[in-house]
Chain A
Amino acid sequence: EAQVTQNPRYLITVTGKKLTVTCSQNMNHEYMSWYRQDPGLGLRQIYYSMNVEVTDKGDVPEGYKVSRKEKRNFPLILESPSPNQTSLYFCASSITTDRPPGEQYFGPGTRLTVT
């Protein structure tokens, strides 16, 4: 089954404790992206990747890191989480062989709480 998976689905952590949210897709998509969703703000793009070893900042990259060492995986790293990073996070992928991205497939979301 074609899908985007994220782990963990729920995470409660404390300020400053490094964490990684994993994202994996099995569709051989080139484009992958991370979004955060906050009430009343819709989805905001954190980082995206056009292909292996090619990443770029979205609109809200501060406090986040990403890497794309393999085509299927695109982990999101919070080196020192803070309470303002409490949010619902989505990973998405798109086949995009040329810019810009079209239809995106979304993972189920990771609900992160930083206390």
Chain B
Amino acid sequence: SQQGEEDPQALSIQEGENATMNCSYKTSINNLQWYRQNSGRGLVHLILIRSNEREKHSGRLRVTLDTSKKSSSLLITASRAADTASYFCATAYTGGFKTIFGAGTRLFVKA
């Protein structure tokens, strides 16, 4: 399978805590994206990081990329109950048009 892998599969935290989820991929990428999905709805794009970038921020989100380890992490700081959702990483491989999604991390934030 070409799928990326995410861990943990599920994460349960208290409101106000930070949530970290990880994504690993298999071959050279052009960019890596993180998406959020609420309960069977369409995915919403959160942030894109290019292969020549190491870290990117957007509001309470921080994404890192380590191309030597073929991995990325998404950190959500000061989580809220409304952050409860599934989070997916997606990779766009160098030289192609395919997009490969990971299996996702289910985040549950308890109020």
Contact = CB atoms under 8 A, between A and B. Distances in A.
Interface residues of A, number: 31
Nearest to A100: B92
A45 interface: yes
Interface stretch (B61-69, B72-80, B94-102): B94-102
Contacts of B2: 59
Nearest to B102: A42
Given A88-B40, A109-B40, A99 B45 contact: no
A105 interface: yes
Contact of A103 (B45, B93, B95, B102): B45
B44 interface: yes
A36 B33 CA distance: 18
A41 B44 CA distance: 18
A46 to B, nearest CB: 11
Nearest to B6: A42
A106 B36 CA distance: 11
B93 A100 contact: yes
Interface residues of B, number: 29
A106 B42 contact: yes
Contacts of A75: none
Contact of B41 (A41, A45, A109): A109
A44 B97 contact: no
A33 interface: yes
Given A42-B88, A88-B40, A109-B42, A100 B94 contact: yes
Contacts of A42: 3, 6, 88, 101-104
Given A99-B30, A103-B45, 13 more contacts: A35-B101, A41-B3, A43-B88, A88-B40, A90-B42, A101-B97, A101-B99, A102-B92, A104-B43, A104-B90, A106-B35, A106-B44, A108-B41
Closest 10 interchain pairs by CB?
Answer: A100-B92, A106-B42, A42-B103, A43-B101, A106-B43, A42-B101, A103-B45, A100-B30, A108-B42, A42-B104
7 contacts: A31-B97, A42-B6, A42-B101, A99-B30, A100-B30, A101-B97, A102-B92
